[in-house]
Amino acid sequence: MTWSFTRQVKAELAGTPLGSLPCCWAELWGLSGRVSDPYEDGGPWVEAGSAFVSRRAYRLMKHLDLDPSIHIGRHTHRVTFSLWGNDVPPPDLDQSLRDCPAGLVRGAFLMRGYVSEIDRPVHFEIQAAGPRQSETLAWAVEALGVVPHTSSRRSQPLIYLKDREQVAYLLGRLGAHQTVLAIQSQSVVKSMKNQINRLVNSETANMKRSVESGLKDAEKLSALGARGRLSRLPENLRELAEARVAHPEWSFEELGRNLHPPISKSAVNHRLRRLRLWLEQESENR
């Protein structure tokens, strides 16, 4: 089973080294989705449906001396993990936000984040647990140098980004450096494909115009040749006219290369202008 890009990004973030104690507290606040001490309502610090996110939360709580314990339950068809700890009082959420905004955003993304597949139009979002956390997350993302958009889905607030460079920059600040390289590589590939497509389309259009022009010239010259009027042309123009009738699909370069002596594309263009002027005069004199 292939992992989604979001899951790959989360797996990378979950494996990043733990930071300082303030950053660990900030990340734990982000994972919890809370804005107040969980012991006030007797709930767990973290409730997750992902094993590697739960392991990340367990490592954080262990590092913070919260003596974590995991309770495993089942919700419909999914396994859920609840992480409980002791009653060590956490630092104030606002203080953790000031100390380490990246930690808070990393934790929130691990728990409730999404990023679109790498080959699709970019979309990054974090669904907040409530209005207060939405404001906190928006402030934290701005503190990292990116201004997010805010919206809601099914009455749940969320923050999001749709600019590829901003998403790559933010993920880099969170520690997902391999993901950033993948996004940048995809951007280079996409840019190269677009450039190649533009060149191919331009070349195709040029070839189409060239062939249509050649066929038009050949039709007019063939009609005059059937009446023996091409013999009135100077030798150099007559040779070009005969080559144009025989090979209307040839480019200027191919025409010039097959004349005797060979001439440049510029010289072919100059002679064709004279030949077309002669064709116009012949048409008027009919």
Q: Which of 175, 208, 225 is the last residue of a domain?
A: 175
Q: What is the domain-level CATH number for residue 136?
A: 3.10.28.10
Of 59-63, 96-100, 170-174, give the lowest mean pLDDT range: 96-100
| pLDDT tens figures, 208-258 | 877 787 778 777 777 766 676 777 778 888 888 888 888 888 888 888 888
Distance, in Å, from the CA atom of 170 to the CA atom of 173, rounded to the nearest integer, reads 5
Kindly state the DSSP code that residue 249 receives in the 8-state scheme.
T
Provide φ and ψ at 158, rounded to 5°. -150, 160
pTM of the model: 0.70
Of 75-84, 127-136, 189-198, give the lowest mean pLDDT range: 75-84
Is the pLDDT confidence value at 285 over 70?
Answer: no
Q: Are residues 27 and 79 in the same domain?
A: yes
Which residues, 6+ apart, have CB-to-CB distance to 124 below 8 Å? 113, 114, 115, 116, 160, 161, 162, 167, 170, 171
Is 202 a member of any domain?
yes
Contact 126, 109 (CB under 8 A): yes
* Structural domain for 129, as ranges: 5-175
Distance, in Å, from the CA atom of 262 to the CA atom of 267, rounded to the nearest integer, reads 10
Is 184 a member of any domain?
no
Distance, in Å, from the CA atom of 172 to the CA atom of 146, rounded to the nearest integer, reads 12
Q: Are residues 161 and 201 in the same domain?
A: no
Distance, in Å, from the CA atom of 127 to the CA atom of 158, rounded to the nearest integer, reads 4
